[in-house]
Amino acid sequence: MKLEGNGITTGASPTVQHPSDLAKLVHSYLVNGFPRMHQEKNGLPNLQVVTQFFEVLFHLSLQAEEGRQITCSAAFMSPIETAKSHRSRKLQANVARSRRIQFPKPLPCDTRTLRKLAQAVDPTYAAIGVHAMGADLRVWGIVDQLPLNLERFTRWESTRGAFAPGIFYSQITGIGEITVYMRDRVVAILRQNRLISREYDALWKGPLSDSLSRYVARFQSEVKRDVGDVLYQNAGKWFEGTDELWRCAEDFGEELKNEWLGALCRVLLQIRDYRHGGALLICPKRATADLSIKYPMAYKGVSNSLKAYAGTHIRQQFIETEARQGRLHEIKFKGKPIAKMGYFITPDERENIFMQGISLLDHDVLYRSWHYLALSTGALGSLAGAVGLVASLSRVDGALLLQNGLDVAGFGVEIRTKTDVKQISVAQDEYATKLVAADPRAFGTRHRSMMRYCQAHPSAVGIVVSQDGDIRAITTVKSELVMWEQLQLRAGTLDEDMFPPEVRNRHPRAQN
């Protein structure tokens, strides 16, 4: 066996994959597995049109404009709005809905056209609308709002779901790199000559997840201590006697797990965006003797912001649910009321004079709900800043040391573990039930030093981000050093909920 590039191959040279391979994968998903309810009335594009679309994007990704790489977002969708059949609800506010802005005349979808449009249409905020018109591929206009909302949701920056309209949505995310979304999920990435699909969900299940579970459990227990057993453990009981009875067995444990792992994913995604490369070393105890910390620091901004958000969110959700069930009058708080007269500071920090003249001493529960909403919104803003700071520390050469989960203990860390690693096993699934032996010498210095440390300290978890965007996690599983490649970091619909088993089995994980 020989390790080539990102994956394990049995031949002398790795498999080279092209935009046509990405087109075949996406088209197969569309034809065989994409839920019919999300298909547009005009039908699905044929393979030739999909291939043309990805070839144009790929060639565009290799070009530059005034010395800067060209970036672009493109939505494959009809320019015609599909009529909604559901009944409209009163007071339903649809802010931030994507809109389709058509050009007077469709433009040819080629590299020359997209190169010009990409300079005008910032891919952060809008996408170029593309559709098949007969046998030709045409640019029909612009779709606003789509990239911003979808990116914020999939990067764990927003709890509000966002689905990509149309058939599929693509972004140029690097030189020779195209990322493809369906609904709210990244389904494929063509990274130079490697096709990556169905990334490993190892942070949420399997032995890698188990290695992180001690930090998740600590976070859960701290939040539970803050809000109390009634709000935390009995959350499901809020729904007794309602049409949501199925939620009565729930507590906030799973939601908090997602929040903690989501914060870790946000850090890793931002590190990848720098294209500098970096490494995270997560340890349960103080720094060991084989770590030399160039820049020691104690920073708990991420964990403190997470706890602040979780506590206020749970309290606000409790009040809101009780109000929906007509039990608002039954809520009693210990201590004096916190309501104030005159004004209320809204989540966006404006004073709401609507509250003037109202004696909030008689509406303490309602005031608390608004108060908790404002605090939770502020905590989310604080979390964003903390995540950004932690990710930026990775730009200094050396590892970023995290202790007790997400608390920074230092950066610019040099790993001085001397014992060489003879062999590492590369996991072929989340549970590491299928392993392939690999030679550590096939990896770079950053990977090998992380392997040595994780072998010497079995409780440690090392995560290495390569300059080209690959992310690998390393830890010890039953005395065997195991590495996962291509971690699933983005939020979105699970594979098993999006595609039937026969479709998933038809497309084995592509990581050549």
**Domains, in order of start, for the chain:** 2-199+491-506 (no CATH), 207-300+378-485 (3.40.1700.10)
pLDDT in tens, 362-404: 567 777 888 888 889 899 999 999 999 999 999 999 999 999 8
Whether the pLDDT of residue 299 is over 90: the answer is yes
Strand intervals (E) in 155-222: 168-174, 177-182, 185-191, 194-197
Percent of the chain residues past pLDDT 70, beyond the cut? 81
Residue 473's pLDDT is 97
**Which amino acid type is present at position 105?**
K
pLDDT in tens, 209-223: 999 999 999 999 999
Distance separating alpha carbons of residues 15 and 3, to the nearest angstrom: 12
Nearest CA among 202, 228, 223 for reference residue 213: 202
> Helices 207-227 & 301-324, crossing angle to 10 degrees?
60
CA dihedral 27, 33, 37, 38 (to 10 degrees): -40
Residue 360's pLDDT is 47
Q: Please, which pLDDT band fits residue 44 given cuts at 50, 70 and 90? A: confident
Q: What's the token pair of residue 110?
A: 């080629």
- The answer to whether the CB of 402 falls within 8 A of the CB of 282 is yes
Mean pLDDT over 280-302 rounds to 93
The answer for 162, left when phi > 0, alpha when psi is -120 to 50, beta otherwise, is beta
Whether the pLDDT of residue 361 is over 50: the answer is no
Q: What's the token pair of residue 197?
A: 């699909």
Distance separating alpha carbons of residues 34 and 385, to the nearest angstrom: 37
Distance separating alpha carbons of residues 484 and 424, to the nearest angstrom: 10
Q: Which helix (H) or strand (E) holds 283?
A: strand 278-283
Whether the pLDDT of residue 89 is over 70: the answer is no
Q: Considering only 101-110, 180-189, 228-237, 406-415, which range has the smallest mean pLDDT?
A: 228-237
- The answer to whether the CB of 372 falls within 8 A of the CB of 312 is yes
- The answer to whether the CB of 17 falls within 8 A of the CB of 512 is yes
Reported pTM: 0.86
**Which amino acid type is present at position 211?**
S
Whether the pLDDT of residue 341 is over 80: the answer is no
Q: Considering only 57-71, 82-96, 267-281, 489-503, which range has the smallest mean pLDDT?
A: 82-96
* Sheet of 480-485, strands arranged across: 291-299, 407-415, 399-403, 278-283, 461-465, 471-477, 480-485, 424-427, 435-438
Nearest CA among 338, 359, 341 for reference residue 351: 341
pLDDT in tens, 225-274: 999 888 887 767 777 777 667 667 778 899 999 999 999 999 999 999 99
Q: Please, which pLDDT band fits residue 224 given cuts at 50, 70 and 90? A: very high
Mean pLDDT, rounded, of the chain: 83
- The answer to whether the CB of 217 falls within 8 A of the CB of 51 is no
Residue 354's pLDDT is 45
